[in-house]
Structure 1
Amino acid sequence: MRLFKHGSSLAIVIPDNIIQRRLLKEGEELEFIDVDENFIALVKKTNLKNKIENKINEKTTLQPSKPIIEAVISEKNKNIPSFLIIDNEIEAREFSRRYENEIREKILNGVRSFDKKFYIIRNDYFEDLSKKIITLIEKNEMKLDDICQA
């Protein structure tokens, strides 16, 4: 594909095979997402909005079969996910835009793992559980392996 001048803007022509495969129609709204310096994604706006909202609202918290320890969650952060796994970079970028202030204020932290997934955790949740887990290990009430399997 090549860019060409269309009035004062740059435009592209989407190849026929992509139009047919993705069932694109005239007037359909698409969105460019700047993933990194060499990668731009073109996404249907309706799909993007719905998919991101579903992913953010989806409960993907890890919960043991029977809880050993429970974190104390502050009332202020109650509506922010405690723990979330996001499968792809586009959704992770949208999540970070949505929670930009919370990330800046160090309420939320995240990391991209070797499995290419993004793991996001709320700091108060992490700190509370960490203290409880360390206490259990120090008192020899549970071994780390047992806690991981629970």
Structure 2
Amino acid sequence: MFPFICTWKDGRCAQVDDVLPDGHKVKKGDEVYYLAYAMGRMPYIWGEDAEEFQPERWLKDGVFQPQSSFQFISFHAGPRICLGKEFAYRQMKILSIVLLRYFRFKLSNNAQDAAYRVTITLHMKGGLHVCATPRTT
């Protein structure tokens, strides 16, 4: 085992012999690790456009369609799902509503492509510079 905490991967230790959904056999005591960052970009899971930001993936006829928490594993899934997941989602929604209610946003430079900088946590390469102007009406 590692003498430090690894934040870029997560894993579990099998308590009993088991078979994973893909048919791989796991014996008691085997450790299985996964990379949530990589899983979020796998064409096998998300399709050929996995690297593209497409919020409409979760919409059908304009209505949100929830997916399995095992597909988007950032908050884990099953009995060990993050206790703070719903709180984090609620905070995100409230902040988004407040910001969109009082401000209009546009990119500072429309010609600049938004690109990721790959690190332990996701960052925008060079930042994502936007102009926020107060809504007057």
TM range (shorter): under 0.3
TM-score of the pair, normalised by structure 1: 0.24
Higher relative contact order (CA 8 A, sep 6+): 1
TM-score of the pair, normalised by structure 2: 0.25
Report the structure, 1 or 2, having the larger helix content.
1
Bigger-Rg structure (1/2): 1
